């Protein structure tokens, strides 16, 4: 839910909107994000809603952990999505465990990438023996950390380079801060001006009262 909220609320820097990315023109927003967890139920196959969502989706984000490796539903979604010719649109977000460790060191207990994510899938939907290392971001502080991992996923969704997105995101943030600072300075100036005017009015009223008292006593 954290990831979905962050992605749907992310505003693409204006300078990037409409530019050409690897998957077409860069959109203004990443919306909507389909979340399959509530749709998975005990059954022999994926539901029609999820199958249609895989067809309609431009990308598939996998939350990777040893638990995900043991889930046949997660593996099946990846297999189906890659069979549609969208292997380059699979993005992995590592939550725990280690990626590709089973292939490199034979450690299946710590492996966090489901088999279909780290293998090529042919057009018939068969998982081959050919290794495929997907684009991945590590959410843990020992990896990319929350901020950079999120930007990696966003860059992957937009088809942009991470460095370009980070630079544009930083520029947009600096501009927002500059606007906030300008508004704050204006409000501070307005408050000072109002205080000065109130003091002037109070002084004038005091002078008028004094003059009236002098005239009364004369």
Per-residue three-class SS string for 106-165: CCCCCECCCHHHCEEECCCCCEEEEECCCEEEECCCCCCHHHHHHHHHHHHHHCCCHHHH
* Confidence (pLDDT) at 35: 82
Closest C-alpha among 130, 55, 45 to residue 85: 55
Distance separating alpha carbons of residues 144 and 160, to the nearest angstrom? 18
* Confidence (pLDDT) at 89: 96
Distance separating alpha carbons of residues 174 and 46, to the nearest angstrom? 45
Question: From first to last of its 218 residues, what are the pLDDT tens digits of the chain?
Answer: 899 999 999 988 888 899 999 999 999 999 888 887 655 555 556 678 888 999 999 999 999 999 999 999 999 999 999 999 999 999 999 999 999 999 999 999 999 999 999 999 999 999 999 999 999 999 999 999 999 999 999 999 999 988 888 776 666 566 656 667 666 666 666 667 666 666 667 777 666 666 666 666 66
Find where tokens 């008028």 sit: 208
Closest C-alpha among 8, 20, 117, 131 to residue 65: 117
Distance separating alpha carbons of residues 214 and 218, to the nearest angstrom? 6
Give 87's contacts (C-beta < 8 A, 6+ positions apart): 120, 121, 132
Q: DSSP per residue over 196-208, as a string?
A: HHHHHHHHHHHHH
Sign of CA pseudo-dihedral 159, 164, 169, 172 = negative
The reply to whether omega before 192 is within 30° of 0 (cis) is no
Global model pTM greater than 0.95: no
Distance separating alpha carbons of residues 182 and 93, to the nearest angstrom? 38
**Burial profile 186-208: b = 16 or more Cβ within 10 angstroms, e = fewer:** eeeeeeeeeeeeeeeeeeeeeee
Distance separating alpha carbons of residues 86 and 83, to the nearest angstrom? 7
* Confidence (pLDDT) at 146: 95
Given a contact cutoff of 8 angstroms between Cβ atoms, the answer to whether 41 and 47 are in contact is: yes
* Confidence (pLDDT) at 184: 65
* Confidence (pLDDT) at 27: 93
Radius of gyration, CA atoms only, the chain: 29
Instruction: Please name every residue paired with 64 in a beta bridge, in sequence order, or none if there are none.
Output: 94
* Confidence (pLDDT) at 50: 86
């Amino acid at each position: 839910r954290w990831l979905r909220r962050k992605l749907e609320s992310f505003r693409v820097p204006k300078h990037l909107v409409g530019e050409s990315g690897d998957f077409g023109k860069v959109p203004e927003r990443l919306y909507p994000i389909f979340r399959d967890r509530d749709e998975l139920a005990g059954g022999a196959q994926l539901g029609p809603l999820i199958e249609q969502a895989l067809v309609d989706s431009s990308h598939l984000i996998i939350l990777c952990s040893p638990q995900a490796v043991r889930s046949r539903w997660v593996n099946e979604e990846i297999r189906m999505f890659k069979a549609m010719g969208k292997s380059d649109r699979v993005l992995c977000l590592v939550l725990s465990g280690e990626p590709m460790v089973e292939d490199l060191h034979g450690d299946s207990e710590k492996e966090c990438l489901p088999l279909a994510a780290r293998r090529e899938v042919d057009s018939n939907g068969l998982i081959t023996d050919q290794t495929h290392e997907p684009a991945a971001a590590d959410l843990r502080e020992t990896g990319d950390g929350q901020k950079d991992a999120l930007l990696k996923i966003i860059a992957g969704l937009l088809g942009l380079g991470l460095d370009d997105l980070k630079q544009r995101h930083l520029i947009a943030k600096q501009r927002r801060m500059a606007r906030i600072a300008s508004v704050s300075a204006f409000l501070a100036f307005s408050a000072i001006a109002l205080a000065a005017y109130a003091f002037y009015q109070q002084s004038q009223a005091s002078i008028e009262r004094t003059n009236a008292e002098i005239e009364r006593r004369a």
